[in-house]
Amino acid sequence: MSTNAGLRNLRARRRQADRRYGARLLASAGLASVSAVLFGLVLILVEGQWRPLQRLDTSAARRLHSTALDHPAWASTLHVLSDRVWDPVTLRLAVAVLTVWLLYRRAWRLAAWAAVTAVAGGLIGLLVKTVVERARPDLQDPIAHAPGYSFPSGHAMTATTSFGIFLLVLLPLIPRAWRIVSWCLALLSVLGVGFTRVALGVHWCSDVLGGWLLGLAVVAATAWSFQTWRVEAGRGHTAVTDGLEPEITHDAPEDDAAQP
């Protein structure tokens, strides 16, 4: 009797674990799908030159640009944040350093995920820019200039993918009490990037929104793929709040880490 009860309990726990995994996987797929659909909607409105969106873009660009012109110190701060702190090159180099560190830790698949997510995000953003060919804002007395097309914002998309990578890789190394702070800092940075690009007059609001949504879709899609691999490899289920690979805290190589 005790053996049968133990087997039933084990099966019940497995069913519960499977349901939790299914919910998490569905959530990842749903997030990727919703982000992609919303991005497609923004793209349609941009391409169709929807007047309410155009008015919003124009109004926000002119107001923020006027404020920057009237406050040179504020404009200088925006330049530092946009061109140095949150610059795509800086963020991509940070992701590259993180990837090298993961390789040093022999976290091969996690390193591959980080690299693929960053590269895919950059290439997809460039492809969409080339296809849409949207012109950047043309403001009187511009305080900043940027090459290339406008939609989606490369800064906003790179920030979304980069900070998503940082969080999903490094969360297992961050004490639980500080994880909410990490999420808040990442969100603040992503939002700040978008604000600086509009305030500097080099992007429309819809460009930034498109960059956020497309970047989120890329991260969610690749994270979904990584979670699927974990289960197929017998590594168990993880919540996004625990990062993609909790075993990164172990000193043992990824392939030799203890199975859950």
Residue with tokens 């990062």: 243
**CB within 8 Å of 173: residues ≥ 6 apart:** 248, 249
Q: Which residue out of 65, 79, 145, 155 is catalytically annotated? A: 155
Q: Residue 22: what are its φ and ψ, rounded to 5°? A: -60, -40
Is residue 65 annotated as a catalytic residue, yes or no? no
**Distance, CA of 116 to CA of 165 (rounded, Å):** 10
Best CA proximity match to 243, nearest among 124, 102, 94: 102
Residue with tokens 């919540």: 239
**Distance, CA of 112 to CA of 109 (rounded, Å):** 5
Q: Which amino acid is at 14?
A: R
Torsion of CA 206, 44, 222, 104, to 10 degrees: -40
Is residue 79 annotated as a catalytic residue, yes or no? no
202 secondary structure, DSSP code: S
Q: Which residue out of 65, 145, 203, 250 is catalytically annotated? A: 203
**Distance, CA of 248 to CA of 251 (rounded, Å):** 8
Q: What is the set of active-site residues?
A: 155, 203
